[in-house]
Amino acid sequence: MEQPAPPIPVLPRHLTAERYFALVDEGVLSEDDRVELLEGVVVAMAPQSPRHASTVQRIAELLRPIAGSGMTIRQQFPIILGASSAPEPDIAVVPGPASAYVDRHPDTALLVVEVSDSSIGQDRLTKTRIYAAAGIPQYLIVNLRDDQVESYGDPDPRIAIYRATQLARRGERVALDGFAGAQLAVDDLLPGA
């Protein structure tokens, strides 16, 4: 005899980060699901192309010596930003050692990087507001679609915007705010031409 399918849980329209993570414990979501919580909404993330994955890996390797021992480079792991957002940026440079995050996700970052192709709209609109509202000092979008890097800095958390923006193309460099004059070449951030 066939068994009825388990009922689909009724979820509130606007999830808190706490409720979002409880969905894994309840079996509604799995840790392998490619989703993130943005402004109270569970949003599916696009599958990663080899180009995207290799770019994320290369940027993480470039940032390790710049970040030094007092910071941790996290790749595609949640950061809790406010009551209703738990984005999973491609890269987040967070304060402290990795051991500080055994029992909790970080709630801030010094730098967030999104490698963007099909997600460019979400990364520019929704995530820029989330990161600015959280006071993340700098947010980079490595824009694979337009072959450029967008840098957002000087956040104003009250109105959820970045007051400083810079567009950098191949042959130019991007300054890393808060990292003692460090810069990265756009050619190193983007995949080969």
Per the structure, how many domains does the chain have? 1
- Tell whether 183 is covered by a domain: yes
| pLDDT given for residue 178 in this prediction | 85
| pLDDT given for residue 193 in this prediction | 59
| pLDDT given for residue 68 in this prediction | 84
| pLDDT given for residue 192 in this prediction | 82
- Tell whether 132 is covered by a domain: yes
| pLDDT given for residue 159 in this prediction | 97
Q: Which structure tokens are listed for 80?
A: 């809790």
| pLDDT given for residue 60 in this prediction | 97
- Tell whether 122 is covered by a domain: yes
- Tell whether 51 is covered by a domain: yes
Q: Is 53 helix (H, G, I), strand (E, B) or coil?
A: helix
- Tell whether 118 is covered by a domain: yes
Query: Domain residues for 75?
Result: 46-189
pLDDT per residue rounded down to tens, the chain (193 residues): 677 655 555 555 789 999 999 988 888 888 888 999 999 999 999 888 999 999 999 999 999 999 988 899 999 999 999 999 999 999 999 999 999 999 999 999 999 999 999 889 999 999 999 999 999 999 999 999 999 999 999 999 999 999 999 999 999 999 999 898 899 999 999 998 5
- Tell whether 66 is covered by a domain: yes
Say if pTM beats, i.e. exceeds, 0.75.
yes
Q: What is the CATH number of the domain that holds 152?
A: 3.90.1570.10
Selection from 112, 111, 95, 115 nearest residue 50 by Cα: 115
- Tell whether 37 is covered by a domain: no
Selection from 164, 168, 143 nearest residue 153 by Cα: 164
Q: What is the DSSP letter of 46?
A: P
Q: Where are the alpha helices (DSSP H) in 134-192?
A: 186-189
- Tell whether 36 is covered by a domain: no
* Alpha-carbon gap, residue 135 to 132, rounded angstroms: 5
What does DSSP say about strands 111-116 and 138-143: parallel, antiparallel, or unpaired? parallel
